[in-house]
Structure 1
Amino acid sequence: MAGSTHTVTNQPPPLTGYDVYGADQALVAAVERHLDPGLLDEVRGELSALGRAAGSGQLQEWAAQADARPPKLRAYDRHGHRIDEVDFHPAWHRLLGKGVGAGLTAAWVRPGGHVRRAAGFLVWTQVDAGNCCPLSMTHAAVPALRTDPTLAAEWEPRLTSTVYDRGLRPARSKAGALFGMGMTEKQGGSDVRAITTVAAPLADDGAYELTGHKWFCSAPMSDGFLVLARTAPGGGDGGLTCFLVPRVLEDGSRNVFRLQRLKDKLGNRSNASAEVEFDGTWARRVGEEGRGVRTIIDMVAATRLDCVLGSAGLMRQAVAQAVHHCSHRAAFGGKLVDKPLMRNVLADLALESEAATTLGLRLAAACDDGGEQERAFLRIAVPAAKYWVTKRCAPVAVEASECLGGNGYVEESGMPRLVRESPLNSIWEGAGNVQALDVVRALQREPQALNAYLHEVGLARGADHRLDGAIKDLLTDLADLDGAEGRARRLAERFALVLQGSLLVRFAPPGVADAFCASRLGGDGGAAFGTLPHSLDLAALVERAAPRE
C-alpha cells in the first residue's frame, strides 16, 4: 500500500504503443527517396508492422529481460561431457526470432534489399541492440561465402532464411542458420597481421584443421563462423586465409569449439561474446589460400555499415525518449519542451540523429545500386561515416539521458542501457583510428573513390554558402597528404560532416539543413549540445523529432 503522501503527478507516461518506424519522419523520407516506387506499398506495411512491434510494451519488456539476464556458459553437461553451449533467456530467442522473421538477414535476396533492411535494422536496434549482432554478422557473411560458389549454394539459403531455427544440429537439417565470426586475437586486436592461429590442410580438398585462440568471437551460439587463420608460417599477410568453421559436423558430432569464457561487457549484455580455443577444429577454406583479407573485405564493409545504422538507431531512440519526456514533464511554470534552453538541446540532438539516419540510408542505397561509381563512393563514405556517426552516438545518448534528469540515471527508464550500448559500434569492426586511417588509405591508393565522393557532395554545390565553404576547405586539406596519418581523424570527420551537410541540403526540410550547416559547417555552434543559433526555428526541429505519428 502506498503511503498517504505518495501521490504521483507530473511523471511522463512510458513511451510505448507507437510505430517506431512511422514516427521517424527522417527515416520514412529516406526510405521513400531511395526505394523503387513499385515496392513502397509493400515495404511501408512491412516496416510499419516492425515499427509497431518495436514500440510495443511487450517487446520492450522482453528487451529489458534479455539485458538483465545475460547469457551463461555451459561448458559441460551433467555427466561431464564437454558441450560448450550458451544459455539465453527466452526473451532473447523471441527477439532474435522476430528479427530473423523480419528479413534482417535477407537483404541479398530481396528487391530493394539493402534499403529496406537498413530501415528495419535501424528500427530493430531501438528494441535491443544485442540481438542485432548475430543478425548483422549473418547478413554480412553472404558476400564472403559468394567467393566460393559451392559454399554459397549450400549456406546462403539458410543465412537469408526468415526462419529462426535454434539449436545445435547439422546445418543441412536446419531451415535457417546464423553466423558469427572470429578474427580478433589477444596479441593483435585490429592488426590481423599478428594472427597466430594456424591451419593445416587435410586430405579432403579445401578442408583444414585449425589450432589457435580467438580473443573475441561474437555470437558463439551460431551455426557457423568465419575465421581468419594462417596457412603459411612467418609474418605478413601472405598466409592469412578465411575459413568456415561449422559448429556441428555433418555426422552430427560437435566440432572442436571450446568456449573458454564469456566476456563481461559494459553494454550489449543480452548478446554473448566469447573467447574460443581451436584444437584440431575442422574448417573449410573460403576463397583463395593466402587471400583471407581480400575474401572478407565485403563482409567488413557490411558490418561497418551496420555500425552506422546501429548507432543511428540508438541515437534516434535516445532522442525520442528525451523529446517524449520533455513534452510531458512540467517544471518552472511550463512544459520542459517549451523552455528555450531545453528546446535548444533537444533540437541539437534531433539534428545529430537525422543527419546520421540520412547518411546511413544513403549508404544502403549505394549498396543496392552496386555500380562502379557507387562502389567507389562507398570506399571512402563507409569508413568516414563509421568513424563519425559511431563517435557521436555516446555524447547523444548521455545528453539525452540528462534531459530526463535523475529519472534518466535509473535503470527502469531504459536510458542507462542506451548509454552503455552507445560506445560499442565505435569499437567493433575497427575502432576510430582504424577507420580514419582507412579513409587516408583510400585517398592515397584509390583516386576514383575521391572522385566519386566529390561528385556526390558536389550535387549540392551552390545551395548553401557554408557547405560550399566546407567543400573548399576539404579540398585545401587534401592538396597535401604528407603527414596525413597524424591528422587522419580530422580528415575523416570533415568527410563525414560535408557528406551529411550535402545530403541534408538536398533532401531535408530547409530548416534542418540550415541548422546543420550553421552549427556543423559554419562554426556557429559549440562543442556541447544546446548551442544552436537562437535565430533558428528550433521548435520545428523538435516537433519533427517527436515520437508520434
Structure 2
Amino acid sequence: MLTFATGTTEARNQSVPLEDYDAFGADRPLVEALRREGAAWAEPRAHALGALAGSAELLAAGRDANRHRPELQAFDRYGHRIDEVVYHPAYHRFMALAVEHELHSLPWRPAVSPTPAAEPGDRVHRGTCSDGAAHVARAAMFMTLSRTEPGHGCPISMTYSAIPALRAAPELAAEWEPRITATSYEPRLDPPGAKSSAIVGMAMTEKQGGSDVRANITVAEPADGAYRLTGHKWFCSAPMSDLFLVLAQTSDGLSCFAMPRITPDGARNAMRIQRLKDKLGNWSNASSEIELHGAFAQMVGEPGRGVPTIIEMVGHTRLDCVLGSTAGMRTATEQAIHHARHRAAFGKLLVEQPLMRNVLADLAIESEAATVTAMRLARAYDESGTDEAAVLFKRLATAVAKYWICKRGPGHAAEALECLGGNGYVEEWPLARVYREQPLLSVWEGSGNVIALDVLRALARTPAALGVFFDEVGLAAGADARLDAHVAALKAEFADPAELEARARRVVERMALALQGSLLVRHSPPEVADAFCATRLAGDGGLAYGTLPAGLDAGAIVERHAPDW
C-alpha cells in the first residue's frame, strides 16, 4: 500500500486572510475625508456597510461573481429571440446591496429616508443630512463596496449619473426618476409599469468612431410622437438595464435618447445583443455589442444637442472612474501591507525589512493622495448646485483627477501584486483581480489623450476655471517650499501657449500633482505630505515605487494604512 508524507503540505509562514473587518473603518484617510468634507452624519452607515464589505462571506461572493461570468441567451428553447443576459446570483446580491444602500441615488433622494444597516430588510434610520454632502457620503460608500466587487459598480454608476441628463426632459424625468432612485432591486425583465425600480445603462460609442461620437451613424426617425432608432453600438454597458441613454443622428444632428428595454406596450424593444465582450477584467459585469432595428426611444434634451445633454451623465461617471481607481489602490495597498505584516523572510517580518517598508509606504502615499483628491472632488459636486466657483472647479478637476488617478492605478496594482510574490499572480488571491480591473478605469469615459484634451477644452470654454483651480491649490501656499515651486512652474506652463496641445499630458499631470500636494499638505500627517512633496514634486525619488529617500518616516506611513491597526 502506498503512503504519502504529509509534512511538506503543511502551510507555514503564510499570511492569514484579510476578512471579517470593517473595510471602511480600517481606511483612516477615507474616514478622515468623510468627516472633513462634510458628511460625518453618514459615518454610522458607512461603518455598517464597511463591516459587510469586509466580511468573509461577502468577499467570497465577490470572488464568485467574477468566477462565473455573465452568459448571453439570445434565444429561448423554443427558438424565440429573447436577448437576455444571465448573471450569477452573487452579482445580483451586490446590485441589491448597492441599491439598498442608495449608492445609485443618494444625492437625488430626500434628506431623510430609511436605509439599511447591513442586508436588505434589516433597516435603520440614517438621520438628517442637513449639512448636505450627499455626494461625499455616497463616494465613500461606493468605494467601500466596490473594493469587494468592482464590476457591479458600472451599472450603479450609470444609474446614479443618468438623473442629471434625464432632467433635460422634465416629462421623462418625472416618469423615470422615482423608479431610478427607488431602493429596491428588481432584475426581472418586466414592463416599466410592472416594476417600482429601474437600472440605467448607456450606449454611445460605435465601431467606426469610438470616442469621436459625432462620427456615429445610428439614425433616429420620428414615429408617433417618439423615435425609432436603427444602427449599432460597439459598447453597450449592462445590457439588461431597464433604460439606456443612447446617441443617434437626426435631421438636426446628433441627439440624445432614452431607450427602454421594454416598450410602453409591454413588448421587448428592438434591441438585439450580438455578443458579450470578452474583457481583460470586469468579469462580473456584462458589456455588449448591440444592433437596433427600429427601437423605440424618446428624445432627451434639444434636437442636435446630444453631446451637451449626455455630458451631464459623463461627468458623474468620470467621477466614479476616479472613485473606482482610488478604491482599487486602497485594496492593493492594504493587501500588500497585510501580507507583509504576517509573512517572514530572512529572519524577520517583511514589514520590518527596510526596502519592503519603503515600497509599502510609497504605495500608501499614492493611495492617500488619490483618496483626499477623490473626496474633495465629490464635495465639489455637492457644492455646485449653489456655488459657481464649485461648478468651474468640478468641471476642471474631474478631468484632471480622471486622467491622473486612473493612469496611476495599473502601475500601483502591479507593484502591490509584486509584494505578494507568486501568490499575487494567482487568481485565488485578490490582487490579480485588482490588476485586471484598474486599466478599465483609465479607458472608460475617455482614455488618456481624450481626457487631457478635455482639460484644454474646459479651459478654452471657461478660462475662469483655471483661476478657481489655482485658488484651491493656493490654500496651501507657504506651507511647503517644494509645493510652491511646483505651482510656480505649473503657472509658467500656461504662460507659454505654444504647442500646449502637445504638452497636454505633462500639464495635466502637473495640475493633478499640485492639487494632490495641496490637499495632503493641508490635511494629512506631516510624514505623508513630506514624502509626497519630496518624491512627486521635488523629484527626490525614482520612477519605480519604493524609492523614497532616506530620512522619511516610512514606518509611520505604513502603520497609518495598515488595515488591522
Structure 1 length-normalised TM: 0.97
Partner amino acid, structure 2, of 1:356: A
Q: 391, 395, 399: which one pairs with 2:411?
A: 395
Partner amino acid, structure 1, of 2:493: D
SS of equivalent residue, structure 2 residue 74: strand
Partner amino acid, structure 2, of 1:274: S
**Correspondence for 1:417:** 433
State the shift of 1:444 in Å.
2.5
SS of equivalent residue, structure 1 residue 19: coil
**Correspondence for 2:144:** 123
Instruction: Please tell me whether residue 136 in structure 1 is matched to residue 152 in structure 2.
Output: no
**Correspondence for 1:235:** none
**Correspondence for 1:15:** 18
Deviation digits for residues 186-218 of structure 1 (CA, Å, limit 9, x no counterpart): 0000001110000001121xx100000000000
**Correspondence for 1:228:** 247
**Correspondence for 2:518:** 502
State the shift of 1:447 in Å.
1.0
How much identity, in percent, do the aligned residues show? 57
Instruction: Please tell me whether residue 32 in structure 1 is matched to residue 35 in structure 2.
Output: yes
Separation (CA, whole Å) in 2 of partners of 1:172 and 1:484: 52
State the shift of 1:511 in Å.
1.1
Partner amino acid, structure 2, of 1:65: D
Instruction: Please tell me whether residue 314 in structure 1 is matched to residue 338 in structure 2.
Output: no
**Correspondence for 1:219:** 238
SS of equivalent residue, structure 1 residue 281: strand
Instruction: Please tell me whether residue 114 in structure 1 is matched to residue 135 in structure 2.
Output: yes
SS of equivalent residue, structure 1 residue 430: coil
Instruction: Please tell me whether residue 340 in structure 1 is matched to residue 343 in structure 2.
Output: no
Inter-CA distance 154–525: structure 2 relative to 1 (3 Å threshold): same
Q: 353, 356, 360: which one pairs with 2:367?
A: 353
**Correspondence for 2:219:** 198
**Correspondence for 2:209:** 188
**Correspondence for 2:261:** 247
SS of equivalent residue, structure 2 residue 501: helix
Q: What is the RMSD computed on CA atoms of the aligned residues?
A: 1.1
Inter-CA distance 357–254: structure 2 relative to 1 (3 Å threshold): same
User: Unaligned stretches of 5+ in structure 2?
Assistant: 112-128
**Correspondence for 1:88:** 87
**Correspondence for 1:276:** 290
Instruction: Please tell me whether residue 171 in structure 1 is matched to residue 192 in structure 2.
Output: yes
Runs of 4+ in 1 over 6 A off after TM superposition: none
**Correspondence for 1:493:** 509
Instruction: Please tell me whether residue 328 in structure 1 is matched to residue 327 in structure 2.
Output: no
Q: Which moved more, 1:247-256 or 1:468-477?
A: 247-256
Partner amino acid, structure 2, of 1:492: V
**Correspondence for 2:67:** 68
Separation (CA, whole Å) in 1 of partners of 2:87 and 2:463: 47
Separation (CA, whole Å) in 2 of partners of 1:481 and 1:78: 63
Instruction: Please tell me whether residue 442 in structure 1 is matched to residue 447 in structure 2.
Output: no
SS of equivalent residue, structure 2 residue 83: strand
Partner amino acid, structure 2, of 1:322: A
| 1:108–1:114 Cα contact (<8 Å) kept | no
State the shift of 1:2 in Å.
7.6
**Correspondence for 2:543:** 527
Separation (CA, whole Å) in 2 of partners of 1:172 and 1:294: 30
Q: 1, 4, 8: which one pairs with 2:7?
A: 4
Partner amino acid, structure 2, of 1:465: A
State the shift of 1:5 in Å.
2.6
Partner amino acid, structure 1, of 2:411: P
Separation (CA, whole Å) in 1 of partners of 2:463 and 2:333: 38
Separation (CA, whole Å) in 2 of partners of 1:350 and 1:401: 14
SS of equivalent residue, structure 1 residue 229: strand
User: Unaligned stretches of 5+ in structure 1?
Assistant: 233-237
SS of equivalent residue, structure 2 residue 539: coil
| 1:263–1:272 Cα contact (<8 Å) kept | yes
State the shift of 1:297 in Å.
1.4
Separation (CA, whole Å) in 2 of partners of 1:251 and 1:3: 66
Separation (CA, whole Å) in 2 of partners of 1:21 and 1:159: 26
Deviation digits for residues 262-308 of structure 1 (CA, Å, limit 9, x no counterpart): 00000001000000100110000001010011111121110001000
| 1:229–1:240 Cα contact (<8 Å) kept | yes
Deviation digits for residues 81-108 of structure 1 (CA, Å, limit 9, x no counterpart): 1110000011111111111111101122
SS of equivalent residue, structure 2 residue 84: strand
SS of equivalent residue, structure 1 residue 484: coil
Deviation digits for residues 399-453 of structure 1 (CA, Å, limit 9, x no counterpart): 0010001111111112111110010000000100000001111222311110110
Partner amino acid, structure 1, of 2:292: F
Separation (CA, whole Å) in 1 of partners of 2:492 and 2:43: 43
| 1:525–1:532 Cα contact (<8 Å) kept | yes
Partner amino acid, structure 2, of 1:382: T
Separation (CA, whole Å) in 2 of partners of 1:404 and 1:499: 31
State the shift of 1:172 in Å.
2.1
Separation (CA, whole Å) in 2 of partners of 1:407 and 1:63: 19
Q: Which moved more, 1:168-177 or 1:241-250?
A: 168-177
SS of equivalent residue, structure 2 residue 476: coil
Q: 218, 227, 250: which one pairs with 1:208?
A: 227
Partner amino acid, structure 1, of 2:237: S
Separation (CA, whole Å) in 1 of partners of 2:164 and 2:564: 38
SS of equivalent residue, structure 2 residue 502: helix
**Correspondence for 1:57:** 56
Separation (CA, whole Å) in 1 of partners of 2:339 and 2:514: 32
Separation (CA, whole Å) in 2 of partners of 1:436 and 1:2: 60
Structure 2 length-normalised TM: 0.94
